[in-house]
Structure 1
Amino acid sequence: MPVTKHVRYIQRFIWLYFWLLIFEGVLRKWLLPGLSVPLLIVRDPVLLLAYFYAFRCQLLPDNRFTRSTLALALLSFPAGLVATVYTDFSNISVVLFGLRTNFLHLPLIFLIPKVFDRTDVLRFGRVVLLLALPMALLMAAQFAVGPEAFLNRGAGEDASQIISVFGRIRPAGTFSFVNGTSLFFALSTAFLLYGFLQPGVYSRPLLTAAGFALPIALAVSGSRSTILGVALVFAAMFVGLLLQPRLARGAVRVALFIGFAGLSLSFLPTFNEALNVTTTRLELASTAEGGLAQRFIGSYQDTFNGLLSVPLLGYGLGMGTNAGAALLGLKGRFLLAEAEWPRVVRESGPILGFGYILLRLAIAVWMGKLALRCVSTGNLLPLLLFAACGLNIISGQFGQPTSLGFAVFGGGLCLAAMRVPVVLESYESSAGRQLSTR
């Protein structure tokens, strides 16, 4: 079978991975709620098939990051099995899920740029922008109806969404939980801003629809994470403007349009109500939990709380995930920690845990450097995409499948947008070499 046919198969599987990422919540909430737990890994067979064909045509990523991922996986699995001996709860099924959570999907970051380039990334962007307005309108409908409505079902039978304030929920759109809409609109914002900064890439009607979707989604979200994700992408745009002042005219178009969209929507009573609910929710959250910065820093500081009492090999790989808790008959609980870094360290112990954290940090730092370098050549898209996924790669909750999916898929798009499908091989041969283009 020709190599080109293998590549087409890989591309199709990655597209299927994307569609399942967007709509797996529909399956888990509305169509097949009784199969909600098995559907947590619905993307895994698709991913494995992509890896299989990548192996067949010698495109399986082989670089310092994937080798480190494999080495940590090979060490973490037996360590997790040993931990089951002295941990009352942990078992081999939980360890296997933890192995899958931490390691299986990471190589996809480096496979995507081997089979896609910047043109393909822009196609993904067009689809994301097409989905933005329907997603925002679905969120608005979920906001308008009560918590017990069919639209606001959670993943699984008799599950519901998180309450915001005034009896309203935090809309999850097509996703299982609200974090999906947060990550989706960060990605949508990256393509939206790029479309305004580079006229002609996307049509005006498409940008207009997606531009109106953004303030609607922010207003009804009731989520600080959604606001933070969008804000990071805007911050990346301003960094790009500092490095490429010629893009200032596009930034003015962005500001004028967002202002116009916000002003137009302010005449709608529902939009104003949603804005009031979200503002109140943010104020109450700041009072009860501290400001966003305090909560953000606190999630990292918690990594070191009680560190000396954590066993050398941890309490058991996978135990800190919600799915791991469900496998142990303790559904809906965080057994070790809610934040990602504390979970990783308490699951795998200080040595393997911090090794895994450093791996994710190294991937993000390296990717960020390449994205910044691309700005100097006039390509701002990688930096915008990195802003949408970088923090998620560093400390996103990989135990939550949607968070994991957006981290690796967004990272892959970021590298593919650099128009260098073999960027890692170039990096391996000369770490300091100037990033080349296709």
Structure 2
Amino acid sequence: MTPSFTGRPAAAPGTAPPRLAVAGRVSTTGKLFIAVMLILIYEGAVRKWVSNAMSTPLIGLRDLLVVFTIGRAFWLGHFARLPLLSRAMLLWTCCVVGWGLLQLTLGESTFTVFLIGLRFWLLSFWFAVAAAAGMNERDYVVALRVLMLALLLMAPLVALQRQAPPESFINKSLGDDVDEVFQLTAGVVRTTGTFSFTAGFVTFAAMCAPFALGIFEARKTRPRHRILAAATFAALIVCTLVSGARASFLFLGGLLFLYLVGNLAFSPMRQKGRAMIAAVVAICLIGALAFVFSDALRTTQERFESAAQTEGIAERLVTTLVGEASTYDRADWLGAGIGIGSNLAGFARFSSRAVFTFGETEQGRSLIEGGLLGALFIVLKLIAIGIGVSVSIRQSLRTRAIFPVLVWLTLGLALTTWPVIGQLTAHGLIGILLALGLLTLRYPRLRFFD
């Protein structure tokens, strides 16, 4: 037997783990994790359709729950279950705090921006480790069920937003000005779902993608399980088709290709037939939904063509992964101050208006804010991605399922391209995805329907 992610012996390949592992009640850590996840998904809806004045209370409540989860993990000794990762986080925390104090001492920052920087550079990462250390398999499965339910509910909402005019209530932005509603073409909105801006919805859909595909791949014992898996897969496709985002199309297209090929490659010989049938069903669903939403597909194609006239896809990908060319001219060894490029800092510095002034990409913002610390941050993320992907490949080979690899490839893309240290929603969702990614290594066989 080989040791598992938790240090306990792993089940032998091909043997089904006991059903009792996913029975019982959800733990307190699991409930806190689900609460934070639901606030992240629905706080934008409250701000748009109820009152924008709820922004600060909702962010404060979310941060309070996150801090409580981390403190509780320290108090109960949960971090001892992930000793290497916890020590690495302690060292990283010392680096961030020390560097931020140095910036503060040399006049490159203010105390308010320093505190904001600590939040964006540390909080969600600590939350992810605390959640992964404190949750069990039952918590993990229930959290995924809640997330997939949110995806199922999101699909009809964004489909309605796509058909509704920009001035309709369902497409309301945080302000009352209809000109603030982002449009693909005249009269066709970029859907936001329950989020306050398009980026939040695109990030949410990307986070859901590997788990929706994992459910499609997971073992099903009843007809309703197959219906639910197909509905979840269809919801993911609908969210992508009506998003109007080039990144969403490219990401899901690549992930689907890896899923279809990997499902055939990793599945045991006796299950190759099922894998072929699943691939055919997936392709048929995609074709049917593309036909139903052909107008949305056509509009997105026009967006690809118009965007290609000013910036090629390859050029855009390089900029996103490496950073803007101007970043390297503006960055220095010390940095402008951790946290200064976040929308929360812009909200505080520019009279309650969120303003991005310190780099468009995550890499660029890291270098401009942190200088040498930002460069170290980028390197550490790449190392973490490499370790996570390598472990996920071993787990996929052991369980004969592509699911762990899909999760960690998504996580790798998220850590390098999402505005984690710049945008509140992306920062929160990376904590959710990272926690689920760590739990995927711990429980690589997705038992969603057990």
CA–CA distance in structure 1, aligned partners of residues 191 and 312 of structure 2: 23
Matched-pair contact (CA < 8 Å) for 1:322–1:333: yes
Report the equivalent of 1:59: 78
User: In structure 2, do the counterparts of structure 1 residues 12 and 266 end up closer, same or farther at CA, with 3 Å as the change threshold?
Assistant: closer
Report the equivalent of 1:170: 190
User: In structure 2, do the counterparts of structure 1 residues 130 and 39 end up closer, same or farther at CA, with 3 Å as the change threshold?
Assistant: closer
Q: CA deviation at 1:120?
A: 3.5
Q: CA deviation at 1:46?
A: 0.6
Report the equivalent of 2:412: 390
Report the equivalent of 2:121: 102
Q: TM-score, normalised by structure 1?
A: 0.84
Matched-pair contact (CA < 8 Å) for 1:197–1:250: no
* Structure 1 counterpart of 2:381, one-letter code: R
Q: What is the correspondence of 1:4-403 to structure 2 with a 5 Å cutoff?
A: 8-36=27-55, 39-60=58-79, 62-63=83-84, 64-82=87-105, 85-86=107-108, 91-155=110-174, 158=177, 160-200=180-220, 203-237=225-259, 238-239=261-262, 241-244=264-267, 246=269, 248-265=272-289, 268=292, 271-291=293-313, 293-302=314-323, 305=326, 307=328, 309-329=330-350, 331-349=353-371, 351-378=372-399, 379-398=401-420, 399-403=422-426
Report the equivalent of 1:425: none
Report the equivalent of 1:428: none
* Structure 2 counterpart of 1:131, one-letter code: A
Matched-pair contact (CA < 8 Å) for 1:371–1:382: yes
Deviates more, 1:371-380 or 1:154-163: 154-163
Q: CA deviation at 1:173?
A: 0.6
CA–CA distance in structure 1, aligned partners of residues 172 and 362 of structure 2: 26
Q: CA deviation at 1:39?
A: 3.8
* Structure 1 counterpart of 2:186, one-letter code: F
Deviates more, 1:147-156 or 1:134-143: 147-156
Q: CA deviation at 1:210?
A: 1.6
Deviates more, 1:296-305 or 1:9-18: 296-305
User: In structure 2, do the counterparts of structure 1 residues 35 and 76 end up closer, same or farther at CA, with 3 Å as the change threshold?
Assistant: farther
Matched-pair contact (CA < 8 Å) for 1:28–1:35: yes
Q: CA deviation at 1:11?
A: 2.0
Q: What is the correspondence of 1:420-431 to structure 2 with a 5 Å cutoff?
A: none
User: In structure 2, do the counterparts of structure 1 residues 168 and 40 end up closer, same or farther at CA, with 3 Å as the change threshold?
Assistant: farther
User: In structure 2, do the counterparts of structure 1 residues 261 and 301 end up closer, same or farther at CA, with 3 Å as the change threshold?
Assistant: closer
CA–CA distance in structure 2, aligned partners of residues 183 and 224 of structure 1: 13
Q: Deviations over 1:212-242 (max 9, x none)?
A: 2233222211001222332343244234543
Secondary structure at the aligned position of 2:156 is classed as helix
User: In structure 2, do the counterparts of structure 1 residues 200 and 420 end up closer, same or farther at CA, with 3 Å as the change threshold?
Assistant: closer
Matched-pair contact (CA < 8 Å) for 1:142–1:151: yes
Report the equivalent of 1:419: 442
CA–CA distance in structure 2, aligned partners of residues 298 and 343 of structure 1: 12
* Structure 1 counterpart of 2:280, one-letter code: L
Secondary structure at the aligned position of 2:125 is classed as coil
Q: CA deviation at 1:111?
A: 2.3
Matched-pair contact (CA < 8 Å) for 2:241–2:249: no
CA–CA distance in structure 2, aligned partners of residues 168 and 313 of structure 1: 44
* Structure 2 counterpart of 1:18, one-letter code: M
Secondary structure at the aligned position of 2:184 is classed as coil
Secondary structure at the aligned position of 1:376 is classed as helix
What stretches of structure 2 of length at least 5 have no aligned partner?
1-25, 445-450
Matched-pair contact (CA < 8 Å) for 1:118–1:417: no
CA–CA distance in structure 1, aligned partners of residues 123 and 398 of structure 2: 34
Runs of at least 4 residues off by over 6 Å: none
Q: CA deviation at 1:267?
A: 5.6
Q: CA deviation at 1:418?
A: 2.6
Q: TM-score, normalised by structure 2?
A: 0.82
Q: Deviations over 1:29-83 (max 9, x none)?
A: 2223124356445421111110121111111354343123212222232034235
